[in-house]
Structure 1
């Protein structure tokens, strides 16, 4: 299993994970559930009309945090907003109810992945594994 697959595996085994962004000079955290491993990158999807997307445009520093019942994941780096249509299609396939809502409202789904990123798989006291991702 590759390092990015290890990170993805943790995200697969949680009900929700949390995305932290910067809103001006304050942190902003929200739960997410959607992610897609595509071309050796973990993509996340958010509506381009949402504050989270605008925050990532203004300041791309972001962090994902998750707990799978055994390990904590801290995955942080610079969000690359790229509106990958293949990822959007996969997201809509996995979540047809979201596709219907977005189409009904004329909303656009945006995608991003983390570059210049670090993933730390941790226990309560220490980092067990750490990986760097640069694309």
Structure 2
């Protein structure tokens, strides 16, 4: 199993994970559930109309944290917001109810992956594994 697959698997086991951004000088954290491993990158999705997307445009330094009941994931880096319609289409295949909501409201799904990223898989006291990802 590759390093990025290990990170993806922990996110899958956790089911819900948390994305931290910065709004001006204040931290903002919200739960997410969607992630997709595509071409050795883990993509996440949020609406381009949401504040979280605007925060990442203004300051793309983000962190994702998750807990699978045994391990903690800290995955941090620079959100790459480059449009990728193939990933959006795959996301909508996996989540048809989200596709319907976005299409009926005229919303756009923005997808991103973390570049210049570090993933730490930890227990409560120490880092057990650490990986670097540069694309």
Normalised by the length of structure 2, the TM-score is 0.99
Q: Which runs of 5+ in 1 are unaligned?
A: none
The match for 2:87 is: 87
Q: Does residue 30 of the first structure (1) align with residue 12 of the second (2)?
A: no
Q: Measure, in 2, the Cα distance between the counterparts of 1:93 and 1:14.
A: 21
Encode CA deviations 1:40-82: one digit per residue, 9 max, x unaligned.
0000000000000000000000000000001000000000001
Instruction: State the aligned residue count.
Output: 135
Aligned alpha-carbon RMSD (Å): 0.5
Q: Measure, in 1, the Cα distance between the counterparts of 2:104 and 2:112.
A: 23
Q: Which runs of 5+ in 2 are unaligned?
A: none
Q: Measure, in 1, the Cα distance between the counterparts of 2:74 and 2:13.
A: 15
The match for 2:10 is: 10
Matched residue of 1:13: which SS? helix
**8 Å CA contact retained: 1:83, 1:109:** no
Matched residue of 2:54: which SS? helix
Normalised by the length of structure 1, the TM-score is 0.99
The match for 2:73 is: 73
The match for 2:97 is: 97
